Structure 1
């Protein structure tokens, strides 16, 4: 069985060589990519390699060791199985903007093998240059320029490179942050400036520094500046054509990071040598220190007479040291009472803050309840009364219409009564004529006489009754007129009183506005000017702000009365930020007798309020604010941003009570159509509900606006009109009062006439009864005519009586209607009274709300004061605790120092006493020191201590340095041994892979590593079979003969006899072998086939494809200007064809 031998030298200059049989192996050897983790397998028959005949002397030193390494590594070096495709650390795509020759270019890369194909000038090399520059490499390393600014495309000012890297699996870099992809973006300009950006797959930037990119490259093991990882076009040509053994060796060592490791070991060796020199120097000085100790001990032995005194001094010093400890402990314990005091203050302050917050919550609850009560009065109690009043008014109006109807019926009935009376008179005359004709005898004359008396009495009775009816009708009319006059007089009196009050108020208002024109402070309570002057004179932590009204200005004059009524006395308030300023301002107010509300708050942060749509005017928007603190307080306490101002009441009602009520609107204010200085408040209840209350005119001086001279003149004209209206109302009242007196007198006269008329009727009816009795006594014959006339008279009289009864019924109905109308008016008056009472009750709740607001403000100030004190007390407590802690540390330090001197002793004297005793003993010792050549016992003892300490320290230092040197030497030896072993394994791996790649062309070859000369030497011999195979592939006899000749000439292993294609193929085999020994996940090579002929290129492509596919966890980017016939794309291999970007731009321009 042909054998294989590997020779080496562990001394650092080992040379290795491999001879390969001419027959390729029938079965490939399994290989594992991780060096040092190989498992020994049985040697296959086809794996043996013959030893080369050209072995140097230094290759015979360690054959057995190298063969042992070979047995372990080589069987596991190759594997026919694909490794898992890398999920992280490889490039997914590259996108270029204005970079080199590309205006915009994007290429998608596969995870394993990528061929970038294109003609010269198509920008292939820009891909590798972009990878180098974008991933942190220098522009000079790409061979395309000295700086990045030279890589900006002509005509552009900035270039951009975007590389998308895969980031999945267990090896992902910060996957929670970046996701499945990492986008690396680099921009640079013509002026040389530039920037980096690391983004997630979603575009979020997480890094912008070069250090962030370096961290990414370190994580994935990317060595961008390593020329063996990314071989640029120029470097690839040089590597393929002109690489020397020394250059190859340096590149190999750099590629596997062995150069840096060796440099680190050399530096460690230098440190060991330096430390050894220092150690030798110090050892020479130890003997001198030992002599000094011996001499000091001899001197100290002669001081026995003074040693006791010195010991006493030492005892005193020990006690003094522990006396300091006692004093420090007492000082530490003194802080306990201070800490307890601050803890109690902190507890009380926190308790007051807690109680204050509870009370504040109670006040807020009360305010919410009061506001709810106001809403309840407006929406629940007032509205039913308003509805009842409206119903009563409707009934009153209906009653008036019914009275008018009855008056019309009364006139018609009076006309009928008059006609009935005429009929009775005519019938009575006919009866009288008939009776006169029948009066022929004495009985007849008697009857005639009685009848005449009866007629006379009846006529008089009818007249008296008619007069009574007339008097009753007249009295009723007078009573109605009197009632109307009374109501009219009451209305006129109220109107006159109201006009009089309005006139006085208007006059006062005009006078106040005249004063306000001169001095705006006069619109505020008395003493305000003195208060403001006092504020200016005094010193404050923060100057009080106020009164509030002076920081506000109303934009719209027509809303002055409503807005002034809305704020009320709150416009006189002041705002302070500290408790000290609050107390000072209260004292100042008492001194000038000017009391105003003080709002205290330390929170001055911006306050956000949800406002209605901007198309609506609110109190907040109607005012110009010159102070944000005042604005903030009124936003909180008065909700000025949620109060709408709408001139038309009907519009306000529809808006607030409809289904389209504006969001964030609490209520609305409208101006009265009768009096522009009055208005209405319309609450926003549920849909369809209505709740409104009147707003009276403002009786005080305006604080948010002042009247101009022209406006004051208009007010004066209005005052004149009001005075004229008042005089007119007074005249009407006087006239109505006179008329009412006259009607009262007329009503009394009618009553007197009625009573007299009743007496007359009674006498007439008695006389008629007497005549009727006399007529019954006289029997007068009647021929029937008189009976018929009497019957007609009776019918007419009955008709008159019926009409009288109807008139009486109509009068009674009218009286009943008058009574009902009067009851309705009384109900209307009661409803008005209830409305006024409820409106008064609602108005009475406003001061309660104001008082609660004041209490809340005071309580907030009180709570804020203690809330501010809490951190101060806590800070003081922490300071005391810190000082106690420092004192405790000082106690421990002093105790430690005292313990170093001696064990703790009982302190029986004070420090002063001990100091006095120390001085006494010191003087005694000084007298004894004269016997020691001017040296004191303490000095001699101290000298001995110093000598012993120096000797001890020197001995300890030497021991520690020796241990350090031994440890470093042992560590360096282990590292060098491991480095040599690792280097052997890598070299074996490269040599074996090299011969495996050569076997694809049936070449024989070897690699020799001369570590002493730092050379990598290749020896390749194409065989005859390889030359014949090349000839068959080339299909040319001349090429076959040439190849065969070269094969024969090269059989002796002379590399100079190789053709350019064979050299390129051999170098590619070396590069693939070296790549397999490197751990960078990305490898790139530009124009790898530049010197290859077709045959070698075909074999090289097949070899590259197979080798790279077996290393699926690595990404390969190979660039060539030639076509890729014979190479098929699959999941491991991807081919990308590039076109000349200039040609593409010209085509686009032409097509446009």
Structure 2
């Protein structure tokens, strides 16, 4: 018996019939497998015949499912055998069909959760099932085509998803409800144990001897149990409706009495209604009186608005006059500017000529000076030659006039003098050596003092630089105490302010975020140095959503960051609204925290940026450097790449680990107590200043020592020089004495020749002097002309410059006049703006009051459509209304509130009539439901009897094909089903119970029972796992023939048989496919290679 299911209705509105149609054989493309994937199906020759058009399985593929890395099957339309040894994974095929078509894990008897079906070491599995979708009973053929592809993906976290695709692969739906409609349309019963009979169900069925279990199995297979449950559920709802009906029938008389009481009170309301009518008339008058009062206020507002509007032309006249004055002053200002520009252009034109004239004049002056130098040089040479000539002539005269003297006594005196000079020279040289040694000592002392001075000056410069650096740092920290943004640079507050303004002007697609360090909060300030050492310059960077925003931010940075300052970097990454899921990649360590554990980050963009740019999810924080080294070398925590210590040292993971020390001792931006840092820095500055004072004192002492040594050095050098001069003079005197010899006769011819030579040189030098004199005169004339030209140009430029200054004064005056005129214009413009703003306020107030009046008129019309003209004030009318209201209240105290009485009467009456009508409808519905349910239950009994009778006959018929006798006995009252089988006909033995049969006989009998149940089922496919495992050869052959005969008779059904036994004797065809599983492999196997069964027997089959 099939479930009720949705039918596809053609466009003409007629329901389609659910029956098998003649189908076309599949094309060769459907039967040829991809060379890159495993296909365990064997394709046989095609045969014509009827076959199912919808609901059967054409293809199943698995990926990372159970024990299979990848496995695929192409199924034939009728009989399919899957052959493989135990352990080869045959049963995974049936499990994949159940799970892939939406079955629960418990329905497979293979696990309690779908994640148990994922192959070890894998994170997800996929199942793809192709269902045939042809004929008139196909499901949405215009959407899916001739094949519906069902995909289910299983994940290790227990989550699964569906995709329903058309034949061309297009995703149509991802909802389970759509899959359920498809199963209902095709009558696919995944939870029916007879539709897919797995090993555990088959084994339990074979071993179970309880008649109640067999009867329950019969009910589930034929869906009679589902029908019974549906009828029971209907009966339960019918009883609930009957109880509701009874309760409402009990309260109906009481409600009827309440309606009668309210009706009596309603008839006693005449006097109150007259007062209410009078009050209603007064309410009408009050509403329109209030409208009239507000209309008077509106008239006053309109008068005030007209007076204010009359002032507008006066402001316009003042503004026009001011604008004309500004325009006049600006014209005069531009004229003066033009004059300045004209003079500037003239000066600019003269400047090259002036510069060239100056250069030429200077060049001529230099040439004149060069000639003068040459003239003076020639004159000096002439005087020198003349002096030499006179000396030679005097010498010649002396030589010629000298007489020979007696030189012997002179020689002896000369030798004595030479000996005396030699002794004096030796004494002076000894004293010179002593002085030279003293000089070397003073020079060495000076060099040492100067070297010490250089070292101290270098130290003083370093201390000064360090003091300046720390002083600037103190100012920086003091500024950061008031504004922590200044820790990232003095420019940072102004830059962020400009970013906010640009964001308000919508210049950015999304406002940049940064600096990153300002968006972090430390949970423990002790880790400030370590975290800064890890993130480094990343703390100073900004995050931008795209490159457009980056370009805008770069322009702002260029404006606010000085040239010599480091510019903050920019990271471009699309902003996301949620954080990355780092549960799989984050470091795990119970003993030490990760970097992310020590910081608070509210912004997901900054959180994701730190992961992308620095990989902070894999960084640990370990206090001690030694602990960090041991941890990352010996037993590196999961997903840990590196670690940082409290002092900022960096340690990389691995046995050949790298270690880098941090050179900073203080955190610069991620600091906790700024005051403490300022105090420490001030102490350091004081210490450095004291050191600088000591260095300066040492420099002063060294300077005194150097001055003293310099004086001693100069004194000794003077003494040494005097000694050297004395020694040189003595040596010269000695040499002069030693050079004197006996004078031979005088020969002056050589000297006379030298005189002649000097005469020639004097004449030549005089000729040169004459030429230079002429050249000097020519150059001097040229210089005078150039000087005159330069003076003229210089005078002309001075004249232009003198004219510029008065014009500049006029420009300043004109500029001041423009500013004054603009201030007047601004004053009147502001006044007009205030006037217009006031005008807008008056208009707004008038419009608002007009709308209020309009609303009041509308409300008054709702109260009374026609205007009520009255001279009475609203207060007087309201006073009268109050008096009438009090009279009505007195009446109501005695008789009750009329509105409440009317409302209660109306409500109770309508409620009574409604309940009365509903009760009538409920009675009719329950009566009709009882009749229908009685008919359905009778039909159910008839149907159960017919299905049981049909099952009995089919069971007897299938047993007879083996030569067995048997029967099925149904006890519907006790819910029991008894099977009795006599294995051999005519042997004189009585029928035997199933438990007394052999394993093969029991298996064959069970197959016959299954065939009988299949005859009563309408599912498009049936699957049976290891049906012949306990049979002998004879029973197996007969069972096989029996199942093939049944399948042949039911071409519109699909059969899938799993067996570990050899099927080589069965010939494959279009209607019968045999697929062989590869033998179990204990090693790692990622791809299943196989050979079709009949490839070895028939080389022509593919």
| TM band (smaller chain) | 0.3 to 0.5
Q: TM-score normalised to the size of structure 1?
A: 0.38
